[in-house]
Amino acid sequence: MSKIKAIKNMTFYKQKNIIPVAKLEHELNIISDQIKQMNLPKGFLTFVLYVISELFANINEHSQAKKATVFLKISKQLCLINIADNGIGLRKSYLLKQIYAKDDFSAIEFALSGLSTKDFEGRGFGLHSIRKLAQELEGKMIMKTGLARAMIQKNKITFQNLNKRITGVKVDVEVPVKNINFYKIIT
């Protein structure tokens, strides 16, 4: 069960929870009901719901994961969204669709550039849009999968080798809480 605490002064904490993938939609409903009560800057509520919904959609559609972990914290200054799954990881999800990423770093690059695992009909924009939104807010996005870690900040991507292989995909978004013209940025 999720434990959500709304504290005074617009501070909102959500405990890190491990959720079955079948319950992701229910989890989003709970999160949405709680954070709608917060007095967030213009466009920011939509930003948070967009990030979480896109990451949940990716987990549901591509990861073959059984479980996901979700952490959300929104204070007056900072928003942290950490979502991870225990699925097959980015590289394998591309390989299953016969898209060959030579390593985990390439798979992350594909995902951030909007390359889809789906047939052409304009898909694959979820992670790409999250990246653009995080950059617009002057925040950062970190993706980890397999042995690769990528940090996207100020229009730069920095890659790092991980010492220990990660199962699935982990996405962290850390942004200041401020106004954003969401519909101008989204693609």
Build a one-symbol-per-residue string for 3-32: x at contacts with other proteins by CB under 8 A, - elsewhere. Answer: ---------------------xx--xx--x
**57 or 99: CB nearest other proteins:** 57
- Region near other proteins per CB under 8 A, out of 54-62, 70-78, 93-101, 150-158: 54-62
H or E stretch covering 187 = none
What minimum distance in Å lies between the beta carbon of 37 and other proteins?
Answer: 13
According to the binding rule CB under 8 A, does residue 61 interact with other proteins? yes
DSSP 93-142: HHHTTT---SSHHHHHHHHHHT--SSPSSS---HHHHHHHHHHHTT-EEE
According to the binding rule CB under 8 A, does residue 138 interact with other proteins? no
Nearest to 89 by CA among 110, 64, 54, 109: 64
According to the binding rule CB under 8 A, does residue 50 interact with other proteins? yes
Residue carrying structure tokens 């016969």: 98
- Region near other proteins per CB under 8 A, out of 6-14, 52-60, 92-100, 172-180: 52-60
DSSP 143-174: EEEEEEEEEEETTEEEEEEEEEEEEEEEEEEE
Nearest to 93 by CA among 68, 70, 115: 115
The contact set with other proteins (CB under 8 A) reads: 24-25, 28-29, 32, 46, 49-50, 53-54, 56-57, 60-61, 120-123, 125-126, 129, 183, 186-187
